[in-house]
A and B are shown apart, each in its own frame.
Chain A
Amino acid sequence: MDPECSRLLPALCAVLVDPRQPVADDTCLEKLLDWFKTVTEAGPSLLLLQENPCLVELLFRVLKAHDPRPRVLSFSLRLAGLFAAQEDCFQYLQVTPSSSVSQQGELLPMLFGESGPLGGAAWTAPTVRSGWLQGLRSLAQHPGALRFLADCGAVDTIFSLQGDSSLFVASAAGQLLVHILALAMRGPAEGHPSPQGCDWPACAQKIVCHVEDSLRSTATLQVTQALNVLTTTFGHCHSPWTQGLWVRLSPLVACLLEKDPIPASHSLVDLLLSVARSPVGSSDCGLWETLAQTLSHLSPTQAGPLALGILKLQDCPQALKTQAFGVLLQPLACVLKAAAQAPGPPGFPEGATGDSITVDTFLSSKSACVGLLCQALAHLELLQLLPQRPSPWPQAPLLRAAVAILRFCHGSAAPTSDVGGHLCAVLAGCVRVQRAALDFLGTLSQGTGSEEGLPGHTQVAPGLPQGPQLLRPGPPHPAVPRRYPWPLQELLPVLRKRLCSPCWEARDSGLEFLTQVTRHWGGQAAFRHALLASEVPELTGQLLRDPESYVRASAVTATGQLSSWGLYATPTGPEHPEVQQESLFTELLHILSTDSEGFPRRAVMHVFTQWLKDGHADVAEDLEQFVARVLQAASQDLDWEVRAQGLELALVFLEQLLGQPGSRCPYAVALPEAAPPATLAQVLQALCRVQLFEFALRALFDCDRPVAQKSCDLLLFLKAKATPCGGPQEAGASPDVVSVEAALQRWQAGEQGQPLGELEPEAVMAVLRSMDLEGLRGMLAKSSDHMEKSPQSLLQDMLATVGVLGENEADCY
């Protein structure tokens, strides 16, 4: 431990045990424990305790206090656990009495045994119970700990804490049981113990018997606790003994399925999936039967997560997968059946015919119907994206079902059956289902089976204008460039309507959608033609002046994207593209310099950087002027992210000038391919002309750390590039260098006012060489914010807070 911390520790311990001193907020105690954890993990705890006797004394004093503060007591329990995690330290705490406190006794039994807080009034505080559990959790790392747990009867207490009124305590108790079980089985019992348990260690035997009793219980809560313990066990422990455990317990689990209703069905599903994922699953054929049985016993809503879990499993029998897929498809099959004009099968694989149980769920209540549909759509959406999704994938009926759902929501379905009528009534205008269906449709359109899917989409458009948030980006997929998942003639009017919506959410989503669509199909003639014929580009341009900053930002991104494809139309028309671009650049630059909010300005910087990267023709026309104007605007910005983005742009520019491999140099457009990259002197002169140095050097002392870091990286990159090439000659202590250094010193002192003025490349390079940029980078990386995180600072703060804690802590933001 740091000597300074060692020096502060006794005073802090004294504060903690003094009931008259207020203790700093919980976060400080938590951070203190974090620190002790790192200290104990890094070195011998025994030495730590011997060198800092105040720590053991603290534990004793807290124990002996008449009315210990729950927070401090909880802290002490956890601290003791951290120390006792090492066996020698554990022995030491078992037997060592305190040096200066009159009371004597074995510390650990006093802390965790029945004579400790367990029997006291403090036990009523959940934080103490939680501390007790966490302390034991840390302590239980070695065989000695197991004996200790048995001797002090801790396991029985943990059993009772499983049903604690505090969720956190109950959960921690369950996890601790699993940890103890794993620890007990780690030693001599490692291997394949018999299911009967005769050769299991006593502690493990006790826990397993408790789990068995709980599984037999008629109280659902107890069954849930047992199932949760087992789920964690099979999820975390993959040793061979878990196989024996499952053989022993699976009959009891199977018994649960025979009950009606099945108790703790959620937890049961979790357990079965956990077992199926563990090594136990691959060796137990009975498990597949149990899973199949569970699928058929659970209600459609309960069975959904299980079915999805089964389909995600790597290796499980095909029959089970088919059954699971059938469960997921049932609700959609019901919808198709209800929407069908003529009788006939919905077209799904066998097993998904729209069974009566699902229909009953639909009919039982509106929320059940909506819940089941949304769940089914979400599960299928998730499944479609997985490599192990069922094959063949029923793309066409799924599309029909999604469209049918949208029609029900939209009110345009003409149902012929009772179920259909009910669905009409329940789903009409239901935004939740509509959104789920549209999301699902979006994912479906990414699927490989797009050919079969397309006809359905023409029916979707009527469903679109229902809610403000419904138009979402996402559907376009590079894999299907020749087809549009949405018919343009229907899409563009809807999009136009969105862009004119009074809801900012609708306008914004519309713009995001437009950006995505343009990114993928900007080069397609049909798309270009349809888009230019619509009012969408003009509307997008108008939204650059939207009152809502989010929308302005999205409009900036959208116009930037449109312009990249030559699709941004202004009143000048497509015959004068140069005027057009100039006007958009000016407009975006104007936004960058004047917009009162960060989002549009940041969006402008992204667009400009992208233009520079892509070699946007009009940017390349006068590259230096472009960069100079953008950097000038960015340097004035109050938002550090804009300034950081400015450095990003500067880096792209620099890389292009230096002919970085892999980057497209806009100069290459103007220069013949074979021409060598510009010489370093030329590059530096160009950098001086665009005032990149002033921008970067100023950023080096920026009050926001990420900007300074980025600038440091940029200058180091430049320095590395310039030095081996033998850049311009040393400028010595020329007047230029002196003035630059003076300016830098002023900036470092926080006076950012004075500009650098005209710079000579030689002077700049001399300054760069003389600066300790590596050192600066190291310092910036050390603490990237001004939050002091060192343990000394924590101890100092906790000590300083004593006596001044007042209302400060009750305040809020």
Chain B
Amino acid sequence: MLLSHVVHTAATEVCFPSPLSVLQGEGPRASCGAGAGQDVGRSCILVSIGGKNVMLDCGMHMGFSDDRRFPDFSYITRNGRLTDFLDCVIISHFHLDHCGALPYFSEMVGYDGPIYMTQPTQAICPILLEDYRKIAVDKKGEANFFTSQMIKDCMKKVVAVHLHQTVQVDDELEIKAYYAGHVLGAAMFQIKVGSESVVYTGDYNMTPDRHLGAAWIDKCRPNLLITESTYATTIRDSKRCRERDFLKKVHETVERGGKVLIPVFALGRAQELCILLETFWERMDLKAPIYFSTGLTEKANHYYKLFIPWTNQKIRKTFVQRNMFEFKHIKAFDRAFADSPGPMVVFATPGMLHAGQSLQIFRKWAGSERNMVIMPGYCVQGTVGHKILSGQRKLEMEGRQVLEVKMQVEYMSFSAHADAKGIMQLVGQAEPENVLLVHGEAKKMEFLKQKIEQEFRVSCYMPANGETVTLSTSPSIPVGISLGLLKREMAQGLLPDAKKPRLLHGTLIMKDSNFRLVSSEQALKELGLAEHQLRFTCRVHLHDTRKEQETALRVYSHLKSVLKDHCVQHLPDGSVTVESILIQAAAHSEDPSTKVLLVSWTYQDEELGSYLTSLLKKGLPQAS
């Protein structure tokens, strides 16, 4: 490709505005932009950068039990293959609102390309997916849901990435993971194509907690930072307060001989609470048993032990003396234990009290005021968990029986998201050119948007579900300049001054994704092209009865007198030249008293050519 271009030599940069678009696709099927997903929504963002398409997270919505639970991927390609369209998929962490639709996406819709996630996410993700599948297929008529085999096949497409390791997805696209501190293995990702880059935070936490460190990113100055904004306006009380509160409540219940039920999902929150209780039990020398149902502890703890480098500094340091995940007080639960007298704490699945063991235990214990249920996470409408959290105390079970809930019901949020302060801190760390807020409520995001724009003087966007944001970037494209061209320029003028930009003329060659500025002669040589000359021609009619040679001589004399600075020549064949301009006189075929001047000039002498033509059109001075 050959481009004739003018380049500023000082910076050797060419600026091409290039579009970079981001699509946040969290809306339910049937094309509804249902707000900004302030509930447990489907995180699924599509980024197009430098011609590459990357999907960030592939979450599901737990609140729906029909196909609205998954993002509608037909918006990405109407009929085409996803594998052809997407260059890669990145999963930030193992929560289902970020990875729950992955097997559906890869095995049922059909995506065969690479999926990137960190090693802990890769290990834990299938456990949670399996956990959820088991609950989902329990439902009658549950169709269009992935199978165990699909989860496995999907996980085989995963490529694990290490922190701070630059992974080359292809020749142009590279990604890099940073620590996010939200859950074990949670990561923020930098996506880079050429000089353009985007950082996606996923969910993150800027304050270290009991088992995880704080999120961190280097000053990578991306074109765009896509950040979650769950707690956009909240300055959260410290997690330690919430933990103290939790321990106090559990302790009080156990002390008065009551039983504590903590419905959880297999991994994540459960391990965090196990650490809390384990250390508390040890410190207070408590004897009441703690049980963990469904045999999940071993597996979960295995992973937490395996991924000790992903935990916080304290756990890592003490790891050699004592592994925090080697629980002494927490034992496997047997169904018969639920009927045992005396206090106990039981972690049971599922976390929303809508099936299985947790619900069975709840029904046994609900009738006593001494007992307590602690809900550490979100519950979908329709579940017993949702009902008791909204204060309902008489529950209709099985459509007939009424269960009176006398036990205490507590909600404790332990989710580790950055609050407004944390988000500002991260924006300060990364120094992006633009910020895009996702995963938050519109009104809260508006406040944060203004704050970011004021403080950092960058543009901030908050697209609703299904909306696309397109940004213009100014990528730096390095251009090499041939030595010959530089020498020639130097020979013509002053020495280059680093402070003063100067114009440099040359021919820009784009070959094999490289730009080079060379002299036009060299460009022709390299590309094996012959030089063509472009000439403009014009006919000027003069009333002159003399012969052609005499007319030419008159033209010559006239121009010689007018154009003193130019080289005007009268050639032996009778034609006249001024620089590259050629003038020939000829007789008019029909009118002998008229002579025709044929004027022709090159593209370079266009100005002079036009001037000469207009001069000649005025006629020649009368011969003296």
A435–B83 CA distance with the chains assembled, in angstroms: 12
B523, chain A: closest CB distance, angstroms: 21
Q: A513 contacts the other chain (Cβ, under 8 Å)?
A: no
B382 touches A797 (CB 8 A): yes
CB contact list, B130-166 vs A, under 8 A? 130, 134-135, 137-141, 148, 152, 155-157
CB nearest neighbor in A for B351: A813
B415, chain A: closest CB distance, angstroms: 5
Q: Among A27, A167, A266, A787, point to the contact of B466 (Cβ < 8 A).
A: A167
CB-CB under 8 A from A28, the residues of chain B are: 381
Chain A residues touching B, majority SS: helix
B356 touches A808 (CB 8 A): no
B363 touches A750 (CB 8 A): yes
Q: Among B35, B135, B384, point to the contact of A127 (Cβ < 8 A).
A: B35
Known contacts A804-B391, A811-B413, A175 near B31 by CB under 8 Å: yes
Q: Among B28, B65, B155, B381, point to the contact of A794 (Cβ < 8 A).
A: B381
A804 touches B389 (CB 8 A): yes
A813 touches B97 (CB 8 A): yes
CB contact list, B18-61 vs A, under 8 A? 23, 25, 27-28, 30-35, 38-40, 61
B134 touches A127 (CB 8 A): no
A597–B294 CA distance with the chains assembled, in angstroms: 10
A375 touches B81 (CB 8 A): yes
A432 touches B113 (CB 8 A): yes
A178, chain B: closest CB distance, angstroms: 13
Stretch at the interface among A451-459, A703-711, A730-738, A758-766: A703-711
Q: A509 contacts the other chain (Cβ, under 8 Å)?
A: yes
A469–B464 CA distance with the chains assembled, in angstroms: 38
Stretch at the interface among B72-80, B217-225, B525-533, B557-565: B72-80
Q: Among B32, B39, B377, B398, point to the contact of A130 (Cβ < 8 A).
A: B32
A238–B27 CA distance with the chains assembled, in angstroms: 31
CB-CB under 8 A from B96, the residues of chain A are: 813
Q: B259 contacts the other chain (Cβ, under 8 Å)?
A: no
A786 touches B359 (CB 8 A): yes
Q: A71 contacts the other chain (Cβ, under 8 Å)?
A: yes
B378, chain A: closest CB distance, angstroms: 4
A293–B408 CA distance with the chains assembled, in angstroms: 73
Q: Among B353, B357, B381, B466, point to the contact of A24 (Cβ < 8 A).
A: B381
A793–B64 CA distance with the chains assembled, in angstroms: 15
Known contacts A469-B156, A811-B413, A126 near B68 by CB under 8 Å: no
Q: A193 contacts the other chain (Cβ, under 8 Å)?
A: no
Q: A92 contacts the other chain (Cβ, under 8 Å)?
A: no
B383 touches A30 (CB 8 A): no
CB-CB under 8 A from B135, the residues of chain A are: 785
CB nearest neighbor in B for A375: B84
A1–B363 CA distance with the chains assembled, in angstroms: 31
Q: B62 contacts the other chain (Cβ, under 8 Å)?
A: yes
A786 touches B389 (CB 8 A): no
A28–B138 CA distance with the chains assembled, in angstroms: 22
Known contacts A30-B68, A787-B65, A809 near B79 by CB under 8 Å: no
CB-CB under 8 A from A168, the residues of chain B are: 27, 31-33, 75, 465-466
Q: B244 contacts the other chain (Cβ, under 8 Å)?
A: no
Q: A418 contacts the other chain (Cβ, under 8 Å)?
A: no
CB-CB under 8 A from A129, the residues of chain B are: 33
Q: A371 contacts the other chain (Cβ, under 8 Å)?
A: yes
CB-CB under 8 A from A774, the residues of chain B are: none
B32 touches A810 (CB 8 A): no
B380 touches A753 (CB 8 A): no
B364 touches A750 (CB 8 A): yes
A212–B351 CA distance with the chains assembled, in angstroms: 55
Stretch at the interface among B333-341, B501-509, B608-616: B333-341
A64, chain B: closest CB distance, angstroms: 21
A599–B79 CA distance with the chains assembled, in angstroms: 35
B38 touches A809 (CB 8 A): yes
Q: Among B157, B230, B383, point to the contact of A787 (Cβ < 8 A).
A: B383
A601, chain B: closest CB distance, angstroms: 10
A787 touches B338 (CB 8 A): no
A34, chain B: closest CB distance, angstroms: 9
CB-CB under 8 A from B392, the residues of chain A are: 796-797, 800
CB-CB under 8 A from A70, the residues of chain B are: 35, 442
CB-CB under 8 A from B380, the residues of chain A are: 27, 787
A810 touches B38 (CB 8 A): yes
A41, chain B: closest CB distance, angstroms: 16
Q: How many A-B residue pairs have CB under 8 A?
A: 250
A785 touches B354 (CB 8 A): yes
> Scoring A residues 390 to 414 as 1 if CB is less than 8 Å from chain B, else 0, what string do you get?
0000000000000000000000000
A597–B123 CA distance with the chains assembled, in angstroms: 14
Known contacts A30-B34, A508-B152, A270 near B378 by CB under 8 Å: no
A598–B172 CA distance with the chains assembled, in angstroms: 42
Q: A640 contacts the other chain (Cβ, under 8 Å)?
A: yes
A640–B356 CA distance with the chains assembled, in angstroms: 9
B355 touches A750 (CB 8 A): no
Known contacts A786-B354, A797-B382, A813 near B265 by CB under 8 Å: yes
B399, chain A: closest CB distance, angstroms: 6
Q: B468 contacts the other chain (Cβ, under 8 Å)?
A: yes
**Chain A interface size, under 10 / 10 to 19 / 20 to 34 / 35 or more:** 35 or more
B390 touches A800 (CB 8 A): yes
B28 touches A30 (CB 8 A): yes
Stretch at the interface among A106-114, A558-566, A775-783: A775-783
A779 touches B33 (CB 8 A): no
A667, chain B: closest CB distance, angstroms: 33
B35 touches A71 (CB 8 A): yes
CB-CB under 8 A from A813, the residues of chain B are: 40, 62, 95-97, 265, 268-269, 351, 377-378
B377 touches A596 (CB 8 A): no
A559, chain B: closest CB distance, angstroms: 18
Q: B299 contacts the other chain (Cβ, under 8 Å)?
A: yes
A638 touches B295 (CB 8 A): yes
B110, chain A: closest CB distance, angstroms: 10
Q: B170 contacts the other chain (Cβ, under 8 Å)?
A: yes
Q: A807 contacts the other chain (Cβ, under 8 Å)?
A: yes
CB-CB under 8 A from A639, the residues of chain B are: 134, 294
A327, chain B: closest CB distance, angstroms: 16
Known contacts A598-B130, A808-B389, A793 near B356 by CB under 8 Å: no
CB-CB under 8 A from A812, the residues of chain B are: 40, 95, 97, 203, 230, 377-378, 415
Q: Among B63, B83, B387, B463, point to the contact of A374 (Cβ < 8 A).
A: B83
> Scoring A residues 43 to 63 as 1 if CB is less than 8 Å from chain B, else 0, what string do you get?
000000000000000000000
CB-CB under 8 A from B35, the residues of chain A are: 26, 70-71, 127
Q: B472 contacts the other chain (Cβ, under 8 Å)?
A: no
CB-CB under 8 A from B138, the residues of chain A are: 640, 704-706, 784-785
Q: A505 contacts the other chain (Cβ, under 8 Å)?
A: yes
A164, chain B: closest CB distance, angstroms: 9
Q: Among A167, A641, A798, point to the contact of B23 (Cβ < 8 A).
A: A167
B468 touches A596 (CB 8 A): no
CB contact list, B518-571 vs A, under 8 A? none
> Scoring A residues 122 to 138 as 1 if CB is less than 8 Å from chain B, else 0, what string do you get?
00011101110010000
B63 touches A27 (CB 8 A): yes
Q: A629 contacts the other chain (Cβ, under 8 Å)?
A: no
A138, chain B: closest CB distance, angstroms: 11
CB contact list, B389-426 vs A, under 8 A? 389-392, 396-399, 411, 413, 415, 417
CB contact list, A390-447 vs B, under 8 A? 432, 435-436
- A-B pairs with lowest CB-CB distance, top 3: A784-B140, A27-B63, A126-B33
**9 A-B residue pairings within 8 Å (CB atoms):** A26-B63, A30-B34, A638-B294, A639-B134, A703-B359, A784-B140, A788-B383, A793-B382, A801-B390
Interface residues of A (CB under 8 A from B): 24-28, 30-31, 70-71, 74, 125-127, 129-131, 134, 165-169, 171-172, 175, 228, 266-267, 270, 305, 366-367, 371, 374-375, 378, 432, 435-436, 469, 505, 508-509, 550, 596-599, 602, 638-641, 703-706, 750-753, 779, 781-789, 793-794, 796-798, 800-801, 804, 806-813
Give 5 A-B pairs besides A127-B35, A169-B466 with Cβ atoms closer than 8 angstroms: A794-B382, A797-B387, A797-B390, A804-B389, A813-B265
